Structure 1
Amino acid sequence: MGILIPESQVSKSNVEKHLEKNSYIITVGDRTTEKMISFGLTPSLQIIDNYEKRVKREPTMSPTVYTELTCNNPAAEITPASIDIIKKAFASKTPVRLTVVGEEDLLVIPVCIHAPENSVVLYGQPNEGLVTVKVTPEIRNKTQRLLDSME
């Protein structure tokens, strides 16, 4: 959906090229969240499931998390409850950590629909690199059509 930064080129400076001043950074995925925190970029919204490539892992430690949320979202699904909790996350004090029981991968779609202005979504493309998506009206419309087609 966005721009792929190949794995070998994922660095703080290459990520920052895709951020504007005061960007609302959203990470989807444990490794992506961990990498941004290691770069000193604390995501405003961090969506994790404590798995990487279907293998259980220790939760990523964030220097500061003001709001902790949890939701259930089975693999290959986007539940209405997940969408509601994402909306709640955007209305909460940042940074927000949303821990998903199940799988977080597809939550990129409702995140792109409901993200605030000036948002950038970062998620991993397995064995490829990091995808950056600047949330624009076009991205909102595209992801809304995707979500509608899944119902």
Structure 2
Amino acid sequence: MKLPDSLREQMKIPLGTLIPESQSNKENILKHIEQNSYIITVGDRTTEKMIGFDLIPSLQIVDGIEKREKREPPKLANATEITVDNPPAEITSQSIDVIKKAFLMKTPIRILVTGEEDLLVLPVCIHAPENSVVLYGQPNEGLVVVKINSEIRNKVQSLLDLME
């Protein structure tokens, strides 16, 4: 599935609560995460930040790129790593299959994307377990926290339905 130009602006609207960069500390983030939540991070910086706060995400999706600059993926021992190809502005069926499989595996799991991971927030929101919280970065603004529920799943599904 490819992201049409007509959807690009809509994709800049946070799916959940935006915590401004200046306030995205451990204390503020924890206010949005219930105990025993399945934590999912999408993005290298977001993943690195959570690991730095000792909030180890159950599922991490990274691509080794931040703001179009190559970088080292965040360090984490003991994570099972899966690699998947996902071109920029696309969601491949292989990526969706890997995400579904990851939710059935022992955590922590890291999906290392060759290409771009940004849009994988969408299939993650559809397939994540009920008690999940998805965190991803909003460029130059802060951190978005999405609590997975039927309302979010429906909203995301309607976005996916508009992709080509």
TM-score relative to the length of structure 1: 0.98
Task: Report the 3-state secondary structure (helix = DSSP H, G, I; strand = E; otherwise coil) of the residue aligned with 2:143.
Answer: strand
Matched residues, number:
150
Residue correspondence of structure 1 range 24-103 to structure 2 within 5 A:
24-65=38-79, 67-103=80-116
Q: State the match for 2:135 in structure 1.
A: 122
Question: Which segments of 5 or more consecutive residues in structure 2 lack a partner in the other structure?
Answer: 1-14
Structure 1 residue 98: Cα displacement: 0.3
What is the CA–CA distance in structure 2 between the aligned matches of 1:64 and 1:117, rounded to whole Å? Answer: 25
Q: State the match for 1:13 in structure 2.
A: 27
Task: Report the 3-state secondary structure (helix = DSSP H, G, I; strand = E; otherwise coil) of the residue aligned with 1:100.
Answer: strand
Task: Report the 3-state secondary structure (helix = DSSP H, G, I; strand = E; otherwise coil) of the residue aligned with 1:98.
Answer: strand
What is the CA–CA distance in structure 1 between the aligned matches of 2:162 and 2:155, rounded to whole Å? Answer: 11
Q: Which residue identity does 2:150 align to in structure 1?
A: P
Identical residues among aligned pairs (%): 71
Structure 1 residue 63: Cα displacement: 3.8
What is the CA–CA distance in structure 2 between the aligned matches of 1:21 and 1:41, rounded to whole Å? Answer: 11
Q: Which residue identity does 2:145 align to in structure 1?
A: T
What is the CA–CA distance in structure 2 between the aligned matches of 1:128 and 1:150, rounded to whole Å? Answer: 25
Residue correspondence of structure 1 range 127-138 to structure 2 within 5 A:
127-138=140-151
Question: Which segments of 5 or more consecutive residues in structure 1 lack a partner in the other structure?
Answer: none
Task: Report the 3-state secondary structure (helix = DSSP H, G, I; strand = E; otherwise coil) of the residue aligned with 2:50.
Answer: helix
What is the CA–CA distance in structure 1 between the aligned matches of 2:78 and 2:84, rounded to whole Å? Answer: 20
Structure 1 residue 59: Cα displacement: 1.5
Task: Detail structure 1 runs of 4+ shifted over 6 Å in the superposition.
Answer: none
Q: Which residue identity does 2:144 align to in structure 1?
A: V
Task: Report the 3-state secondary structure (helix = DSSP H, G, I; strand = E; otherwise coil) of the residue aligned with 2:100.
Answer: helix
What is the CA–CA distance in structure 2 between the aligned matches of 1:28 and 1:125, rounded to whole Å? Answer: 11
TM-score relative to the length of structure 2: 0.90
Q: Which residue identity does 1:4 align to in structure 2?
A: L
What is the CA–CA distance in structure 2 between the aligned matches of 1:15 and 1:60, rounded to whole Å? Answer: 19
Q: Which residue identity does 2:139 align to in structure 1?
A: P
Structure 1 residue 117: Cα displacement: 1.0
Structure 1 residue 64: Cα displacement: 2.9
What is the CA–CA distance in structure 1 between the aligned matches of 2:58 and 2:96, rounded to whole Å? Answer: 17
Task: Report the 3-state secondary structure (helix = DSSP H, G, I; strand = E; otherwise coil) of the residue aligned with 1:18.
Answer: coil
